Amino acid sequence: MPIRKNEVSFTYDLEDLLDEVPEDDREDAATEAGELALQKVHDYMDRQISPVKGERNFRALKKDSPYRKLKQKLVGNQKPNLRLTGKLIEAMEVDADESSFKIFVKKNAKNTDIKKAYNHNVGDTVIKRQFLPDDSKQGQTFKRSILKVIKDTIAKYKKPKSKRPPVQAPPETISVNYEALLSTFKASKREKQIAKDPKTFKIEDIL
């Protein structure tokens, strides 16, 4: 779903990646990939960097901002990591099915966390600090390190490909071709016998 005032979420399509995963394991694979992706999103936020491809570091809080003073007072720092009370981080969850996972901000009574998430992601009433890709923007996705975590997680669930046995021509085919070859070179009866069974070769055959 796109990022909206009443819903903030991002769905990652795993259909291609899950193609070689047994059907019974696909939802588990998608769930684990989503959970690890969410952990990486939190890591990026802690470092004040957007986890969205093409987006840069979160802008610092304005010096004269009341929020900056409040944050310094409550948590002892002025980092723009979207962590004042921790409620927004706690409200982010993962849902998955057999073809995708979704990271979303959980709804509460007044949707306060969703409103905060919306404002940060689009820059509505605060400076934009986007932490989820927007489905409505074609091609927008996570940064490479998160995509790698997703891909590597799914790969663990893939069924190993069995090796194909070597292809062997039927004995009769070899025999027919061999006979044709000997006929082409006009081999004698004795030469044909030796060609079929080299063990019958005697020194007299070349004297």
The model's pLDDT over 93-106, given as tens digits with 9 standing for 90+, comes to 999 999 999 999 99
DSSP, collapsed to helix, strand or coil, labels residue 96 as strand
Q: Does residue 184 register a pLDDT over 60?
A: yes
Write the single-letter amino acid at 63.
K
pLDDT at residue 133 in the model: 97
The model's pLDDT over 7-16, given as tens digits with 9 standing for 90+, comes to 999 999 999 9
> Binning pLDDT at 50, 70 and 90, where does residue 67 land?
confident
Question: In the chain, what are the domain boundaries?
Answer: 9-155, 171-202
- How big is the CA angle at 84 (ends 83 and 85), to the nearest 5 degrees? 100
- How big is the CA angle at 4 (ends 120 and 116), to the nearest 5 degrees? 30
